[in-house]
Amino acid sequence: MAVDLLALYPKLVHLMLDTVFVVDRDNQIVFVSDACEALLGYRASELTGTTITDYMHPDDLEASHASIARVMNGQSHMDFRNRYIRKDGGIVHILWAAFWSMEVGARIGVARDITALRQAEDDLRFLAHHDPLTKLTNRSLFNERLDAALREARQHKSTLALLFLDLNEFKGINDVHGHAMGDSVLCMTARRLEGCVRETDTVARMGGDEFTVLLTDIQSPDAVSKRVEQILMKMAEPLGAEFGAIKMPSCSIGVALYPADGEDADTLLNHADDDMYRIKRHHRSTE
């Protein structure tokens, strides 16, 4: 039996999971497939005759206009990404493949919803530079920021401080109350440390129960001492009722100042680490 493929094309277009747009040279939508409702929340009849740029995220308009110009100049754009605002106010990330049809006199574009993909990409980027448990900066990103801060300090002849913090007797929490409760204590430690620093400073988890804090543009050693005292006071606050009888462990904090205690990252980290263990040994000897 012969099949009239041309007669099937309109039905096939509306069966596509991706959305097909046909847009004239004035950015008016002249056709859109039925998948638009899943993509943007509008029925095809609501979009036809309206201006497509009205639905674009304002922050993406400049790049979108550049892509439109490229397509209308005869250059297909097969991998353009931008954001649209749905009827319900939500944001959808879209991957476009588009070309200019001389025969039709319009842009023809196919839009794919990549919101889930974009979120997965963002999550992977975050995990590459952050500790998955505490969400703090991880060792890799901390080292990058320390190197950048040292370059800045050398250029402007300023001072920075590096704090190395370790929880005292943290192993006992894991051994007695379990690792889940230990993880909760580590997360609480992270939040308390974040509450003691400026947005320009960096708190990182180096591993286990060890944390570092990078304080930039320090005015004096006294300012660092006050910050250490603030952290110690914050860490000494009782835990909430959800922690039961568990007490917040005390902490030992080692300090290294640039340039007094070292002029490179390794020297500063070693100095702060040694200082922290000196304080920890003193803590054990006075118990």
Residues with catalytic function: 209
Query: Phi-psi region for residue 239, left (φ > 0), alpha (ψ -120 to 50) or beta?
Result: beta
Contact criterion met (CB below 8 Å) for 213 and 201: yes
b/e for 210-224, b at 16 or more Cβ within 10 A?
A: bbbbbbbbbeeeeeb
Tell me the two tokens of residue 79. Answer: 């991998």
Joined together, the tokens standing for residue 207 give 């591993």
Residue 109, strand partner residues: 21, 98
Residue 187, CA distances (Å) to 44, 183, 223 in order: 48, 6, 26
Contact 53, 27 (CB under 8 A): yes
